[in-house]
């Protein structure tokens, strides 16, 4: 599942849960799915953050410059 797909599904789950129209069992199932999706998105973001690190050449060799918002 792509990050975008997971995030879209997570947003749908949050919207559904916030309406409060699900049974307790349905709500718990959506909540559990949301937690799994959150963890997937977090993992993908951390991986992307590492990849965004910029490598530059310095006189001593390779110097890593982390991405900073």
pLDDT in tens, 18-59: 999 999 999 999 999 999 999 999 999 988 877 776 444 455
Burial of 56 (0-12, 13-18, 19+ CB in 10 A): exposed
Please count the structural domains in the chain: 1
- 32 vs 29: CA distance, rounded Å: 5
Q: Could you list the residue range(s) of the whole structural domain that residue 42 is in? A: 3-65
* Exposure letters 24-40 (e unless 16+ CB within 10 A, then b): eeeeeebeeebeebeeb
- Predicted structure pTM score: 0.73
């Amino acid at each position: 599942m792509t990050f975008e797909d997971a995030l879209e599904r997570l947003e749908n789950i949050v919207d559904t849960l916030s309406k409060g129209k699900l049974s307790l069992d349905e709500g718990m199932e959506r909540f559990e799915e949301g937690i799994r999706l959150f963890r997937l998105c977090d993992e993908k973001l951390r991986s992307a953050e590492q990849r965004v690190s910029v490598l530059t050449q310095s006189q001593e060799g390779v110097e890593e410059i982390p991405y900073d918002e």
